[in-house]
Amino acid sequence: MPGPSPSAMFWATYALTTGTLSAGLDSAGHEVLSRIALVPACAAWLGAVAYAVLRLPRATWRAQAPAALTLTAATALIGAGFSAAGLRRSAAALLALSALLWTLLLAARDPGRGGTVFLRCVATQGLAVLGATLAAAESAAWPAHAAMVLFWLGLILYVVALFRFAPREVTEGRGDHWLACGALAVSALAGARLLGADSARLYLWNDDDHAVLTRVTVALLVLTLVCGVALLTAGLMWPRHGYDARHWAGVFAAAVTAAAALSGAAALDAPWLDVAGEALLWAAVALWLACTARAAVAARAGSGPSGVRSRARR
Give me the residue spans of the domains in the chain: 6-313
pLDDT tens for the chain, 314 residues: list them.
334 455 778 899 999 999 999 999 999 999 999 999 999 999 999 998 888 777 655 545 556 778 889 999 999 999 999 998 889 999 999 999 999 999 988 777 666 778 889 999 999 999 999 999 999 988 889 999 999 999 999 999 999 999 999 888 888 877 889 999 999 999 999 999 999 988 777 788 888 888 999 999 999 999 999 999 999 998 888 877 777 778 889 999 999 999 999 999 989 988 889 999 999 999 999 999 999 988 888 777 765 666 655 444 43
For the chain, give the longest Cα–Cα distance. 63
pLDDT of 277 reads: 93
Q: What angle do CA 91, 97, 103 make, to 5 degrees?
A: 135
pLDDT of 245 reads: 75
pLDDT of 313 reads: 41
Considering the entire predicted model, what is its pTM? 0.91
pLDDT of 304 reads: 62
pLDDT of 8 reads: 78
CA 15/CA 20 separation, integer angstroms = 8
| Contact in structure between 176 and 116 (CB atoms under 8 Å) | yes
Q: How many CB atoms lie within 10 A of CB 311?
A: 6
pLDDT of 65 reads: 78
* Domain 6-313: assigned CATH number: 1.50.10.150
Helical segments of the chain, H only: 6-27, 31-55, 65-84, 88-105, 119-138, 141-164, 169-172, 179-197, 207-237, 248-267, 272-300
pLDDT of 308 reads: 52
